[in-house]
Structure 1
Amino acid sequence: METAMNVHAALGAHRLVPVVVVDDAGAADGLAGALVAGGLPVAEVTFRTAAAEASIRVMAARGDVLVGAGTVLTVDQVDRAVAAGASYVVSPGLSRDVVERCLEHGVAVLPGAVTATEVQAALELGVSTVKFFPAGTSGGAKAIAALAAPFGGVRFVPTGGIGPANLHEYLALPCVHAVGGSWMVPRDLVSAGEFDKVAALVAEAVALTAGKEVLV
């Protein structure tokens, strides 16, 4: 399993975190292959489906994809995600119990924080990289830029309501470590096993991040 420092370095290098919903663990290997083929070997597998745990196990076992667990709400889910091979854990909100359990396991944790109070609480728990969710309805890039002013050392991973049209607004901010999104891994294409199409969408998303200076 990757160390927390390595995970954060990798997320920052890729700039994009595909947020994946897997309904059948049988699709996990093909999905992982599509991410690798598209040039973005990263996945946040949401814990919203019964297949999440097995999917993380399959993808992590390959060794060529950085796999994390998303929508983690409880300590029990943290334990299950880590046991399945998740290298990082993402929560929609800030839970002291979840953060502390992740730190005990030595895995990177990205708790949700959209207010100054939540960001400060995360810092008090020893976490300086937070998920800004839901980004689109929480003020977007302007809100992140405003929060970054008093919290100079905090890095944000905005997720929710982000797509090709507004991706550049977030990536242009120095405080944005990476951006989470699901547009390049549509649930219906994953379920249908159309991994060539997924790989093509992933490659397009990677090209967008590479061209962000042009888009801003």
Structure 2
Amino acid sequence: MTTIPRSGADVLDLAPVMPVVVVSDAEVAVPLARALVAGGLPGIEVTLRTPAALEAIERIAAEVPEAVVGAGTVVGAEQAAAAAGAGARFLVSPGCTPDLAAAMADTGLPFLPGVSTVSEAMALLERGVSELKFFPAEAAGGAPFLKSLGGPLPQVRFCPTGGITPASASIYLALPNVGCVGGSWLTPADLVAAGKWDEITALAREAAALRG
């Protein structure tokens, strides 16, 4: 069984790549999670973009103890509480407001609040939060932007997400202030629909070896 993360740092250190998963049918949640874990990626971010998301989190938490399932696209206090109730072990947001930061902290779960500017990162540092999601990574400046933050904000570590590919992931992972990257390429809709779990495991195995 995978150790439950106690901090944002623990979440960043689960694996080089955090699969960012959209689940439209909760029936696929368990085999999908098992396929990713088998490939060496225990941390799984299930985005709260579909009606099936909370049930998917609940099923993975109950049936795949080796997985560390989290909730992504958390944009409100109610979602944070619902995700925690479903068994999520961490929370991820695309952006952050003071109210959302407080709501995520109130769940007692580690969380990665989203930022895309220096000021947003500094505001979260003032709250004692130094592990952040950088989103949308490619559109917001990419690896050069994060590299430039290493000087003024060396204590901050990131999970860049958004537009990252297997080819560009290693560039991000080579940066000392990047703990992991978020990847949506690991669970193509056609492979999930066809139940080609071995192929998803193969993609996960390649991603797990990306640390640069």
| TM-score using structure 2 length | 0.93
**Alignment of 1:204 onto 2:209:** no
Within-5 A mapping of 1:130-145:
130-145=132-147
C-alpha contact 1:89 1:110 (8 A) present in aligned 2: yes
Aligned residue-pair number: 209
| CA distance in structure 2 between the partners assigned to 1:193 and 1:96 by the alignment | 41
| CA distance in structure 2 between the partners assigned to 1:182 and 1:12 by the alignment | 18
From 136, 149, 152, the equivalent of 2:151 is: 149
Identity %: 48
Instruction: State the superposition RMSD in angstroms.
Output: 1.5
SS in 2 for 1:98: helix
Per-residue deviation, 1:13: 4.2
Per-residue deviation, 1:10: 4.8
Within-5 A mapping of 1:44-193:
44-61=45-62, 62-193=64-195
- Cα shift readout 1:118-177 (whole Å, capped 9, x = no counterpart): 001111222111110011111110001112221111001100111111111100100001
SS in 1 for 2:167: coil
Gaps of 5+ in 2: none
| CA distance in structure 2 between the partners assigned to 1:20 and 1:106 by the alignment | 23
Structure 1 or 2: more helix by fraction: 1
| CA distance in structure 2 between the partners assigned to 1:52 and 1:65 by the alignment | 16
C-alpha contact 2:16 2:210 (8 A) present in aligned 1: no
| CA distance in structure 1 between the partners assigned to 2:206 and 2:94 by the alignment | 27
Over 3 Å off, 4+ runs: none
| CA distance in structure 2 between the partners assigned to 1:187 and 1:123 by the alignment | 37
Tell me what 1:14 maps to: 15
C-alpha contact 1:22 1:190 (8 A) present in aligned 2: no
2:40 counterpart letter in structure 1:
G
C-alpha contact 2:11 2:90 (8 A) present in aligned 1: no
- Cα shift readout 1:75-119 (whole Å, capped 9, x = no counterpart): 000010000011111111012222112212211111111111100
Per-residue deviation, 1:52: 0.3
C-alpha contact 1:57 1:85 (8 A) present in aligned 2: yes
